[in-house]
Amino acid sequence: MPRAIIVYDTRSGNTGMMAKAIEEGMKEAGVEVLSKRTVSATANDLAGIDAVVLGAPTYHHDLIASMKTFLFEMEKANLKGKVGAAFGSYGWSGESVQMMTDTMRHIFEMNVIEAGLKILRRPGESSLRQCQEFGRKVAEKIKMTRR
Ligand SMILES: Cc1cc2nc3c(=O)[nH]c(=O)nc-3n(C[C@H](O)[C@H](O)[C@H](O)COP(=O)(O)O)c2cc1C
């Protein structure tokens, strides 16, 4: 069974809701998923993983500090060619998703999904369905790269 990790942080819960729905979509599509907050995730969690899905909201046009720290932690793992995807809730500009996507592509040379998933503020029912769909899309990409 393919294995993936979702590493995310959230301040007021919106990106956390997205993480849960993405996890559901991936599991439905047959992927084993471990979901962790940035503060408790380490490079050890990335061993033997097929995909890394990162989630962070945008604050002050930037990534939150805990995700920046985790991106440095990711340097310790060899993620070249692995599937990468990013998501996050935002209020008006939402730069965080592109920042995580760019780092996975340019620094870790991962096989990233463009574009990542941005949801405006608190996800409602249809946004949560979009998150589940995004989870299934990540699962499909993992299956294609494992062939
Ligand atoms: C102090 C503050 C600064 C923010 N700065 C931005 C910003 O620069 N760009 C943006 O798109 N949203 C910004 N937001 C909105 C948050 O990204 C939005 O509320 C998001 O849903 C929070 O997600 P979370 O619940 O996962 O923390 C800001 C919110 C606050 C409270």
What Å distances lie between residue 38 and 17, 31, 42, 141, CA to CA? 15, 21, 8, 24
14-25 pLDDT, tens per residue?
999 999 999 999
Which pLDDT does position 146 carry in this prediction? 74
Which pLDDT does position 147 carry in this prediction? 67
Please list every protein residue whose CB sits less than 6 Å from any atom of ligand 1: 10-15, 57-61, 89-94, 121
Q: Does domain 3-146 have CATH number 3.40.50.360?
A: yes
Which pLDDT does position 138 carry in this prediction? 98
- Spatial distance between the Cα atoms of 74 and 45, rounded to a whole number of angstroms: 10
Pocket test for ligand 1, best of 20, 90, 97, 120 (most atoms within 8 A of CB): 90
46-83 pLDDT, tens per residue?
999 999 999 999 999 999 999 999 999 999 999 999 99
Ligand 1 atom closest to Cα of residue 16: 26
Instruction: Tell me the mean pLDDT in the region 123-137.
Output: 98
- Spatial distance between the Cα atoms of 126 and 134, rounded to a whole number of angstroms: 12
Instruction: Name beta bridge partners: 3.
Output: 32
pLDDT of 8 above 80: yes
- Spatial distance between the Cα atoms of 96 and 90, rounded to a whole number of angstroms: 8
Ligand 1 centroid to Cα of residue 9, in Å, is: 12
Ligand 1 centroid to Cα of residue 29, in Å, is: 31
Which sequence spans correspond to the domains of the chain? Answer: 3-146
Ligand 1 centroid to Cα of residue 90, in Å, is: 5
E runs forming strands in the chain:
3-8, 32-37, 51-55, 58-59, 62-63, 83-90, 111-112, 117-120
79-119 pLDDT, tens per residue?
999 999 999 999 999 999 999 999 999 999 999 999 999 99
